[in-house]
């Protein structure tokens, strides 16, 4: 498990190769927990075929405890090879998110985009968001030494960030991003953005805490 330490009072990021590392998000000094994993060929193959055929897609489903994630895909996509494996992976992530936070409902967002969705560095006004990029370049983020510093005047996203300080989630990684609405985390939400996109489709799953 890798730690990205900052100043003593600043949040840190935790990266591990086991799903249990996601529980580190409950620590007061952590604002990013990443399960570093490699997608199976079947799941990666479905994501590739779906992205190339669909082109662009924006879907949102509110998942109650009795509702599965199948409705997030258009009907034609269910016939693609290994669609079931991809849906099983999404269902696993939803189950993990529910186990961690016990929300009344989970907001599931699926984005298939060819442009940059959120190009400026920002923080989310949510308690905790799960992100997984199934195809394309992963979300970019900044560790705390690069933000909210007295020697860097101006509020984000106006601050200038050097390219070498930008870190990036890998494709397939499961990340929990602690936001500004997490109790006690005001002013300490993870600073992140969508990567610059050259027209290649990115398939991103997001889970949010509803109620």
Q: Which of 98-102, 116-120, 183-187 has the lowest mean pLDDT?
A: 116-120
- pTM of model > 0.85: yes
How many separate domains does the chain show?
A: 1
Inter-residue long-range contacts of 24-30, CB under 8 Å, 24+ positions, other chains counted: 25/100, 25/128, 25/176, 25/178, 28/184, 30/178
Residue 8's pLDDT is 42
Q: The CATH number of the domain where 45 resides is what?
A: 2.60.120.330
Q: At 128, is the pLDDT very low, low, confident or very high (cuts 50, 70, 90)?
A: very high
Residue 63's pLDDT is 82
Residue-range definition of the domain harbouring residue 18: 2-210
Give the mean pLDDT of 75-81: 94
Structural contact between residues 176 and 93, judged by C-beta atoms closer than 8 angstroms: no
Tens of pLDDT along 27-51? Answer: 999 999 999 999 999 999 999 999 9
Residue 11's pLDDT is 84
Q: What are 184's two structure tokens?
A: 């006690």
Helix (H, G, I), strand (E, B) or coil at 203: strand
């Amino acid at each position: 498990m890798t730690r990205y330490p900052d100043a003593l009072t600043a949040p840190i990021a935790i990266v591990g190769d086991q799903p249990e590392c996601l529980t580190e998000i409950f620590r007061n000094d952590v604002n990013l927990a990443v399960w570093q994993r490699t997608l199976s060929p079947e799941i990666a193959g479905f994501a590739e075929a779906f992205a190339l055929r669909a082109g662009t897609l924006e879907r949102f489903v509110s998942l109650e405890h009795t509702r599965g994630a199948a409705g997030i895909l258009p009907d034609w996509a269910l016939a693609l090879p290994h669609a079931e494996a991809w849906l099983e992976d999404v269902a696993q992530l939803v189950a993990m998110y529910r186990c961690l936070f016990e929300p009344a409902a989970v907001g599931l967002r699926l984005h298939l985009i060819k442009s940059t969705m959120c190009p400026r560095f920002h923080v989310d006004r949510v308690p905790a968001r799960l992100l997984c990029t199934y195809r394309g370049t992963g979300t970019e983020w900044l560790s705390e030494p690069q933000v909210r510093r007295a020697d860097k005047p101006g509020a984000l996203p106006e601050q200038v960030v050097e390219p070498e300080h930008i870190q990036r989630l890998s494709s397939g990684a499961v990340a929990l991003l602690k936001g500004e609405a997490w109790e006690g985390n005001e002013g300490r939400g993870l600073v992140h953005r969508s990567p610059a996109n050259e027209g290649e489709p990115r398939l991103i799953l997001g889970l949010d805490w509803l109620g």
